[in-house]
Amino acid sequence: ISYLYYMGGSHMGNAVYAASVGERGMWGVGARFLNYGTMQGYDPNAQSTGTFGASDIAVQGFYSHELSDYFRGGVSLKALYSSIETYNSFGVGVDVGISYYDDDKGYSASALFKNVGAQLNGYTDEREPLAWDFQLGFSRSFVSAPFRAHITLFNLNPHYFKHLVPTDLTKAQKFLRHFSLGAEFTPSENFWVGLGYTPQIAQDFEIEGGNKWGGLSAGFGFTSGAMRVSVSTASYHPAALSFMCSIGIRLGGHSIF
């Protein structure tokens, strides 16, 4: 269970339940929401039309299976609902991924097709395609030191390259927009500290004379008995930090993450 509260009364939550199936399988269900708070509406003549709200909701069911001692594959089916003022939209999507992990060497790699699907009901009469993405992830732990390094490549959709990359950026800045970097310090199995940096967030939320910490995130977590707690913070705007808290509880042979 995770919860995030942010500026302007916006907040986000996520809950997932997962359980094992046999020796190599796992199924789960989950839901997440994002509420954007209350906003002021205006007509084309700049006259106030009162306040309105906006929110997104996703409900999913997923299954993963250990294909071998090193590979695991998984699929997630999602129902997506969005509302803005009196407009609403409904769609369905699927995530398909595969991961590789070598415990002896500390290597991990994964590939994911995300949000592949269709909008069944649009905000208007025109239906739009889902913003699907292809992502790659790599991580490496070090046998002689309690550290793990992470790198994720995202926005690998050709549509993003053609239409959604700002034209006023240098080639190096455009290249870095597809990377997210992270590092973990794990002095024990029950405690970790992490630091992350995403150049795209730093670029998109850059403002003159401020937000020098944009794109950075940090967190820590610990496990105590059947409970796992994680707390993190990230900077999107110099006026406020975002804080997220996640709690996982193991119920017998089942888990909530």
Kindly report, residue by residue over 102-145, the tens digit of the pLDDT. Answer: 988 889 999 999 999 999 999 998 898 888 999 999 999 987 88
What's the CA angle centered on 115, arms 250 and 203, to 5 degrees? 95
8 Å CB contact between 152 and 136? yes
Give me the residue label for tokens 């070598």: 102
Q: Which two tokens stand for residue 22?
A: 């046999």
The per-residue DSSP string of the chain comes to -EEEE-GGG-EEEEEEEEEEETTTEEEEEEEEEEEEEEEEEE-TTS-EEEEEEEEEEEEEEEEEEE-SSSEEEEEEEEEEEEEETTEEEEEEEEEEEEEEEETTTTEEEEEEEEEEEEEEE-SSSS--B---EEEEEEEEEETTEEEEEEEEE----HHIIIIIS-TTS-HHHHHHTTEEEEEEEEEETTEEEEEEE-HHHHHHT-BTTB-TTTTEEEEEEEEETTEEEEEEEEEEETTEEEEEEEEEEEETTEEE-
8 Å CB contact between 196 and 218? yes
Amino acid at 62: F
Amino acid at 189: E
What are the structural domains, with CATH classification, of the chain?
A: 2-256 (2.40.160.40)
Kindly report, residue by residue over 92-114, the tens digit of the pLDDT. Answer: 999 999 999 998 888 999 999 99
Amino acid at 211: N
8 Å CB contact between 11 and 252? no
Which pTM does this prediction carry? 0.86
8 Å CB contact between 246 and 230? yes
Report pLDDT for 253.
55
What dihedral angle (degrees, nearest 10) is formed by the CA atoms of 196, 116, 74, 81?
80
Kindly report, residue by residue over 147-199, the tens digit of the pLDDT. Answer: 999 999 999 988 888 777 888 889 999 999 999 999 999 999 899 999 999 99
- The mean of the pLDDT values for the chain is 92
Report pLDDT for 91.
96
- Minimal CA–CA distance to 38: which of 26, 50, 28, 48? 50
The CA distance from 216 to 178, in Å, is: 15
